[in-house]
Structure 1
């Protein structure tokens, strides 16, 4: 019971502070992350149907052709600046230019790599995404500026970005829904990286490749320290 409670709490911190609401398929108004919070249990053993993968790849390719001068990372940071004044100050501060560029590029790369690897996402990207925010990771240097709160806002923005991918009214809901499942996966892995860095160990299960890799690394380091 304690394990389930800890998992639920961590997932809600990463995704949304609001109460989970699962909209019916006829709903015209999709929320930020609340409508997929109930899918948290499905992140380990992550699977998308062939149809969902096709909807995501096709719609994303169309968006890229339409927005040749804009990246996902830029779109996300614009959304954050429009909706979060505290983060806007950080993102628009000239002193943070290098860090902002790194995060903008990284967000774009994460989405690009995820869409390219939809069929085997957990095996291909799980460990990499966890490593980004873990100790010594690509993004660990700027955690004072871009912490878990920032990533919660990024994931909210990415969920809203999913609405940009809808190229057909008939497929709108299914496309957004499928894309948000991918964002849920990304959010969980990023959250795991923070938890491991701060000694929480992440939400490891027997099927979580990223956690297994990190545990192995930790054991090796521990063994070396004992030997010395």
Structure 2
């Protein structure tokens, strides 16, 4: 009996299955306005990004770390004189971010419905546990998935562990996502296929060069094109 080249497919969540970064951008614009009396908008964003970089190892990915980085940036820019009213408003916009609606991206539901039962489908996402669980529940996509893995970070070790635990190993798995740094490059390094779906608003810290020379790298415009990639690989 011939072994199938792919038996498991992993999906990133934010900006792969549903919109996410657009809400962060709107929140950042609001944050710029809150600090408008102390600094220019571009400077506020640059200082915020530096704070986010510093804090990733402490707070991880997600809204709570982003909110704490906004507070830290406000303190730094105002040299410790930030009004408590602004701190309160930062906390409010952070809570609003945790309540934003879930908007699935085009072709997502029909693709998952088609693949369900043919492959083991796994959601592999990083970020705040409660927030990711909320978004998955509100998306209505949970019934199509066989497993959900919410991780602190994504590395080749992460993908080897997940695909070895749940499926037939990374060599017979595929990872799909909008982040080359988190979804594609480490998955390919682990031995899996990596299918990159660019998103217009991918966070700047997730940008790296595409591994175009890697035999297991693929790129598509939207999830509706995944079937052709699978047909090509499965027929090889």
Query: Please, what TM-score do these two structures have when normalized by structure 2?
Result: 0.26
Structure holding more helix per residue? 1
Instruction: Return the TM-score normalized by structure 1.
Output: 0.26
